[in-house]
Amino acid sequence: MHIPDGYLSPATCAATYAVTAACAVYASKKVSKELDEKKIPLIALAAAFSFVIMMFNIPIPGGTTGHAVGGTLIGILLGPWAAMLAVGLALLVQALLFGDGGVTTFGANVLVMGVIMPLVGSSIYHLIAAEGASKKRKLAGAFIGSYVGINVAALSVAILLGIQPIIAADAQGVALYSPFPLNVAVPVMMFEHLLFFGFVEALATVLILNYMLSLGMKPEQSPGFSRKLGYGIVSLVLLSPLGIIIPAMAKAGGAWGEWGSDELREVAGFIPEGLARLETAWKAPLPDYMLPAGPQESFLWQVLWYVLCGTIGIAVAGGAVMSLRLLRRKADA
């Protein structure tokens, strides 16, 4: 679901950046009012969790892969606007350090996974599981909310990609950016998410929420909650190589619509002119969660560096939030 550089026209990128920036300003004000300083570490942990859960690529029939996001779960626990900040930070680290999602398309990716998904998913959850609802009702609300949330997000991505051949084409009508029209992008994206990744997101949300509910406490009321969540994130990082091992065993390629120009040439038959120009807009220092040096042909090496990159990612994402906490303390002082 990460839209790479070059798949969206500059006009689309500018528009999604503008909407996302407005949402970010509102989210910052909202979170500042509603969350006290003691809860800021939870946002850091949420950003780290979203980052690492997106490293678990799951192959599906057809030879592509996908992943969960965790947007609805974070929205349920901390509110949709705190979820936007957490998921947005995770996406920023992915784009800048690892080239997972574009820099020019960062606004679109945050809008889809950081705004639309948590807002839709957590809203449905609260409609189903009102205050005082039973545990079963809460879990049902979480399942339905996360399933619908990620599918609405997938539809949003499909529309963004599918309108590009309409709004950005050369004099001969050849697409300059994403070459997939709506009648291709929408069915493919919705097939994957309605039948596979929607259930992956929903299952992950329910399992984690069920564990939290089993503790019989709210995050802000438990001094050990953040520590236990931190242990869980560390465990996920250690397990993250499954995100490359399982796709390799299944001989699956990258996620649909996230291909580089070489892979896109094989799929679409050509490389759009605008895409070729924009795909080099940013050169990530650790592309594809790998170090630029070392025996890249060794699969063990890839596994080790995948864990290392996951560790770097959650450290940067979590550290950024905690740095803001320190700055806030100094400002208050």
Among residues 152, 165, 180, 183, the alpha carbon closest in space to that of 12 is found at 165
Residues in the chain: 333
Q: What is the pLDDT of residue 218?
A: 58
Calculate helix-pair angle for 198-214, 71-78, nearest 10 degrees: 30
Residues 95 and 324: their CA atoms lie apart, in Å, by 20
- Choose among 279, 270, 282: nearest CA to 169: 270
Containing 78, the helix (H) or strand (E) segment is helix 71-78
Q: What pLDDT is attached to residue 216?
A: 60
> So what's the pLDDT on residue 180?
96
> Considering the entire predicted model, what is its pTM?
0.93
Looking at residue 70, its amino acid is: G
Mean pLDDT by 10 residues, the chain (333 residues): 95 98 94 74 88 93 87 93 94 96 97 98 94 88 97 97 96 95 96 95 93 65 66 90 91 88 89 94 90 70 89 89 66 56
Nearest to 221 by CA among 74, 36, 85, 29: 36
Per-residue model confidence (pLDDT) at position 301: 83
**Could you give the CA distance from residue 250 to residue 172 in angstroms, rounded to a whole number?**
40
Q: Which residues of 20-54 are buried (b: 16+ CB within 10 A; e: fewer)?
A: beebbeebeebbeeebeeeebbbbbbbbbbbbbbb
Nearest-angstrom CA–CA distance, 91 and 84: 10
Domains along the chain? Answer: 10-332 (1.10.1760.20)
Note the pLDDT of residue 277: 94
pLDDT of residue 131: 79
What pLDDT score does 324 carry? 67
Contact between 254 and 64 under an 8 Å Cβ cutoff? The reply is yes
Contacts of 133 (CB under 8 A, 6+ apart): 141
Q: What is the pLDDT of residue 328?
A: 60
Asked whether 122 and 80 are in contact (CB, 8 A), the reply is yes
